[in-house]
């Protein structure tokens, strides 16, 4: 005769084991110890709408995945970022993400992170170090390709002729260096010439101020094109151009990089002529890389985002779908 109590016990035991072995859906990035990751993120600051969108992407994706994110705003100072990284090391975080303000000066603190066995992912902007093993990989955009895309568009639009005023980004930063050098290389041998360059530090107010200074130095007919290293500076520049009684987009061609919704709308409005995208929504890709590195898995040395280009041919259709 069967024991009903034994049958019930066996049934319950099977149920518990079945539930316990079933895969559980999770968006968190587990560490080797099975706990949610703790990640330190040293951001450059909040100098532009692009940067604010980048920070939001990192914070939102961390919350979605159950990551404890220790966030530091560098306020545009490398020393603040380095101090933040040192604090992350002291706190024994699982990994560190750095969006470096400038390319150089990182080797000492990266050596400290390596000695503490804390992996580092470089995001958005690149660094220059003698020992590339000091960081696991880079996730971001190809700034040289962006600069070349702008130049190629201008060459086609102008038949390779025109005088250019350049609004550069933060001095010493990877995007400023690469967007300038690639652009300058691409227009060599054409009739396009950069007649003046000044840094606007990637800030809208600074872009406006630099453009105002240019307009005191150069009158209508002295220049044909404004090339801004980011949309915020371009948006500041078109305000200065309009205030001077000129029509941005008509009297002066305006080209820039970032892909802000406001800049794409300015193309629709005829005030900017071309914008090359630099996607700031990096959270998912960065944390995917971090999770692999912490788990001891290899990641690509360089992971580039795919960037689009907008002009009068596609801006109207694209503006409604822009997320930033």
HEC sequence for the chain: CCCHHHHHHHHHHHHHHHHHHCCCCCCCCECCCCCECEEEEEECCCCCHHHHHHHHHHHHHHHHHCCEEEEEECCCCHHHHHHHHHHHHHCCCCEEEECCCCCCCCHHHHHHHHHCCCCEEEEECCCCCCCHHHCCEEEECCHHHHHHHHHHHHHHHHCCEEEEEEEECCCCCHHHHHHHHHHHHHHCCCEEEEEEEEECCCCHHHHHHHHHHHHHHCCCCCCCEEEECCHHHHHHHHHHHHHCCCCECCCEEEEEEECCHHHHHHHHCCCCCEEEECCCCCHHHHHHHHHHHHCCCCCCCEEECCCCEEECCCHHHHHCCCCC
* pLDDT given at position 81: 98
Reported as a pLDDT band with limits 50, 70 and 90, residue 308 is very high
**CATH code matching the domain that covers 38-141+280-304, chosen among 3.40.50.2300, 3.40.50.2000, 3.30.70.2660, 3.90.1300.10:** 3.40.50.2300
Reported as a pLDDT band with limits 50, 70 and 90, residue 174 is very high
Same fold, 38-141+280-304 and 143-278: yes
Structure-token pair, residue 166: 């350049």
Q: What confidence tens digit (pLDDT) does each residue in 182-223 have? A: 999 999 999 999 999 999 999 999 999 999 999 999 999 999
For residues 160 and 8, which has the higher predicted lDDT (pLDDT)? 160
Q: Report domain extents, the chain.
A: 38-141+280-304, 143-278
Q: Specify the CATH number of the domain 143-278.
A: 3.40.50.2300
Exposure letters 214-247 (e unless 16+ CB within 10 A, then b): bbeeeeeeebbbbbbbbbbbbbbbbbbbeebebe
Reported as a pLDDT band with limits 50, 70 and 90, residue 34 is low
Q: What confidence tens digit (pLDDT) does each residue in 146-155 have? A: 999 999 999 9
User: What mean pLDDT is predicted for residues 79-96?
Assistant: 98
Q: Which of 275, 203, 273 is nearest to 232 (CA)?
A: 203
Q: Which residue has the tokens 């099975």?
A: 34
pTM of the model: 0.84
User: What mean pLDDT is predicted for residues 259-263?
Assistant: 97
Task: Answer yes or no: are the C-beta atoms of 49 and 57 closer than 8 Å.
Answer: no
Q: Which residue has the tokens 């992350």?
A: 88
* pLDDT given at position 104: 97
Task: Answer yes or no: are the C-beta atoms of 255 and 154 closer than 8 Å.
Answer: yes
Burial class (CB in 10 A: 0-12, 13-18, 19+), 70: middle
Average pLDDT, the chain: 90
* pLDDT given at position 162: 98
Lowest-confidence segment of 13-22, 129-138, 230-239 by average pLDDT: 13-22
């Amino acid at each position: 005769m069967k024991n009903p109590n034994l049958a019930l016990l066996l049934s319950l035991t099977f149920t518990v084991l079945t539930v316990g072995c079933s895969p559980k859906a999770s968006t968190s990035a587990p560490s080797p110890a099975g706990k949610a990751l703790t990640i330190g993120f040293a951001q450059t600051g909040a100098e532009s709408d692009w940067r604010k969108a980048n920070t939001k992407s990192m914070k939102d994706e961390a919350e979605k995945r159950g990551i404890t994110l220790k966030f530091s705003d560098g306020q545009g100072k490398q020393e603040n970022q380095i101090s933040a990284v040192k604090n992350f090391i002291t706190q024994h975080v699982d990994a560190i993400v750095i969006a470096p303000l400038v390319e150089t000066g990182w080797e000492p603190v990266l050596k400290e992170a390596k000695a503490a066995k804390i992996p580092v992912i470089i995001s958005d902007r690149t660094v220059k170090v003698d020992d590339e093993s000091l960081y696991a990989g880079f996730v971001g955009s190809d700034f040289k390709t962006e600069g070349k895309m702008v130049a190629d568009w201008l060459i086609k639009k102008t038949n390779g002729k025109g005088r250019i005023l350049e609004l550069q980004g933060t001095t010493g930063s990877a995007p400023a260096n690469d967007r300038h050098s690639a652009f300058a290389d691409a227009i060599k041998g054409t009739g396009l010439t950069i007649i003046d360059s000044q840094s606007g530090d990637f800030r809208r107010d600074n872009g406006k101020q630099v453009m105002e200074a240019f307009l005191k130095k150069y009158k209508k007919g002295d220049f044909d094109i404004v090339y801004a290293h980011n949309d915020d500076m371009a948006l500041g520049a078109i305000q200065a151009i309009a205030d001077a009684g000129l029509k941005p987009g008509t009297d002066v061609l305006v080209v820039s990089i970032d892909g802000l919704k406001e800049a794409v709308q300015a193309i629709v409005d005829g005030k900017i002529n071309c914008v090359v995208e630099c996607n700031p929504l990096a959270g998912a890709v960065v944390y995917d890389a971090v999770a692999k590195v912490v788990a001891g898995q290899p990641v690509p040395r360089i992971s580039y985002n795919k960037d689009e280009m907008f002009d009068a041919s596609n801006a109207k259709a694209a503006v409604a779908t822009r997320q930033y």
